[in-house]
A and B are shown apart, each in its own frame.
Chain A
């Protein structure tokens, strides 16, 4: 069983697809010599001259240029480094990437990928720690993928690199060093197909990214208390896999949604709303959400820990939803 890191899964997917498809090129800061701030491009070091490009710190142009490059037939992959920085150039994302094809009546294919790190964990405070996937989900026009294992990372990134639509990939910065099984042979993971990371019967936890691992830890602890938890990793938020979620909720009758981003109006609220609209009669208790506290991310480790959800929050929520 070959194991590689989450970071290397990014680079491996990109290197393989760049071999296959000469229209793919990638750019951002510190890629050519450093391999990216989190080392995701180590597999590209010294390879693909002219197709891995270091850019100035010009976010509006980095993101907006992907539209122009895609419209002339190329497949650009832009690294945003930290998800927080998307706001610096958000005009190019929300007003161009997410709208241009629709506004043109379906002309062209926006084959482009934005990718980079999000998430809390290393005391980088409020401009380098946040997760903003809900906002990208709220605005129609881009596919949102959030892998949480090296296997999912490689398979979803390869699909992104063959997609005819714009894709944004959020990679939790605390996962880059995580190792996991990735086969030598090629595979792709389709969008909109959740992965049941753990099977269970009493309650369903729908989650993504780092919170998948926290939820699995919670499920382990709850098993010792005689509670069987099903952990569903959505893997892609746009589109999200209603079928798998619905089937699980019908089975367990209890739903907890866990994400690191702010609880208030976070994507968990959308999922909870859809589930109660469709499956009200199947629910044995109100749906509960676990999410970050509604403040900007503080710096000091004790403050950061306090506002960030962890496995024990999932444990509490599952017990509460089960009235235990």
Chain B
């Protein structure tokens, strides 16, 4: 299929923005600037970008502990994201959630989630809500190969299958569930084979090819909007960074990681776009500079923002907290 230059450059730019955000975060974490921990999406950008390119603003996603890429791809503000990494009052969660719990309901992000598989029942519920009220929105649930071994995954697939809910289950098989290899933890070679158990369509695709992701999700979205129910898509990729910034590397060799770098999605799309004349050297440079500037501004915004007041810890639990004893 032929795509416009703007569309292709849009995909490329979005992936570069995610990469830059993640690498900025890594530097800040290693420099001792950020509390907590950081799970990077480096090497997996094509999945979030290819999938969400099919979505409207009023469609929904659920995300994971490795969720910055999903947020950015769905349209999140990187300044508010960065401020949240810093635990600042101007962050998406006013410093109450941090990296693993970002949410932006105004763009349909129903929340990242620190529990592996935790977003799947939420995505199912969003699908159920959509079905009961009769609108044509869809939900994309991002999760990992680890998530595909949770009870929530199997319950959710069955639940969505029987009611034909508009949910696309997007497995990011990055080969590792924290430090356990997928082949040691998972009964199937292709996670999409599990779709057959719920009589729904399942596809295993190259998750580092943003166009293949886009086109596969496009069909799934079409089916979901038409009321034909859920789809399970396994996007095969590779986690180029650790489970979190600074984790033990004992579970794999550097040689193995180096082998996968040449196949990472930004390089791949960039090469293709340069060969076809869509991406000039000047354009590439411009995107990189603009992105770098965006992240510098995000860091500046975050650093200049105030920390929350300690007593703000007692806000935001309930809408109506009358009579509640803190």
CB distance from A9 to the nearest CB of B (A): 23
A131 at the binding interface (Cβ < 8 Å): no
A1 at the binding interface (Cβ < 8 Å): no
CB distance from B77 to the nearest CB of A (A): 14
Interface size class of A (residues with CB under 8 A): 35 or more
B123 at the binding interface (Cβ < 8 Å): yes
A61 at the binding interface (Cβ < 8 Å): yes
CB distance from A164 to the nearest CB of B (A): 4
Q: Is the CB of A103 within 8 A of B97?
A: yes
Q: Is the CB of A72 within 8 A of B121?
A: no
Interface size class of B (residues with CB under 8 A): 35 or more
A66 to B110, CA, bound (A): 12
Q: Is the CB of B315 within 8 A of A106?
A: yes
A92 to B27, CA, bound (A): 34
Mark contacts of A85-108 with chain B using CB atoms, 8 A cut-off: 1 yes-contact digit, 0 otherwise.
Answer: 000000110011000111111111
A163 at the binding interface (Cβ < 8 Å): yes
Residues of B within 8 A of A123 (CB): none
Q: Is the CB of A72 within 8 A of B115?
A: no
Q: 8 Å CB contacts to B: which residues of A100-144?
A: 100-109, 140-141, 143
Contact of B124 (CB < 8 Å), options: A68, A95, A240: A68
Q: Is the CB of A50 within 8 A of B105?
A: no
A104 to B110, CA, bound (A): 10
Q: Is the CB of B121 within 8 A of A102?
A: no
Contact of B152 (CB < 8 Å), options: A61, A67, A164: A61
Residues of A within 8 A of B127 (CB): 68
Q: 8 Å CB contacts to A: which residues of B44-70?
A: 60, 62
Residues of A within 8 A of B118 (CB): 64, 91, 95-96
Q: Is the CB of A105 within 8 A of B316?
A: yes
With known contacts A56-B159, A58-B158, A239–B325 Cβ distance under 8 A: yes
A102 to B317, CA, bound (A): 5
Residues of A within 8 A of B113 (CB): 96
- Between A and B, 29 residue pairs with Cβ closer than 8 Å are A50-B132, A51-B132, A58-B158, A58-B159, A60-B121, A60-B151, A67-B122, A67-B125, A72-B110, A76-B125, A95-B115, A96-B113, A96-B118, A101-B316, A103-B93, A103-B97, A103-B103, A104-B96, A104-B97, A104-B111, A105-B92, A105-B96, A105-B97, A107-B103, A140-B317, A143-B318, A164-B319, A239-B325, A241-B323
